[in-house]
Amino acid sequence: MVILPAIDMAATGRKIMSLRKAAGLTVKDLQDIFGFATPQAIYKWQHGTAMPSIDNLVALAAVLEVTIDDIIVVDVSVKTQISA
């Protein structure tokens, strides 16, 4: 059994929103960049109810001109138990 830190999805969502605004981009801008038919995925990311896929996370970091580590908020006080 291994205990690992967990991603704080709500804080990560707030970070995505903050970075998007700092870059001067709207939700519609990101929707167009990613080629999404609707903005729902972006809103889910921002509300912390969903995380971008790895591919989208890499693209989002490039669009926002930050690293993936700048986007993801890790909560080391919450531990996730993983058993192999």
pLDDT tops 70 at residue 82: no
pTM of the model: 0.86
Structure tokens at 73: 């908020």
- Residue 5: per-residue pLDDT: 83
- Residue 77: per-residue pLDDT: 72
- Residue 4: per-residue pLDDT: 78
All structural domains of the chain: 2-82 (1.10.260.40)
pLDDT tens-digit readout, 64-80: 999 999 999 998 776 65
Which residue type sits at 10? A
- 7: CB partners within 8 A, 6+ apart: 51, 72, 73, 74, 75
pLDDT tens-digit readout, 10-63: 999 999 999 999 999 999 999 999 999 999 999 999 999 999 999 999 999 999
Distance, CA of 44 to CA of 63 (rounded, Å): 18
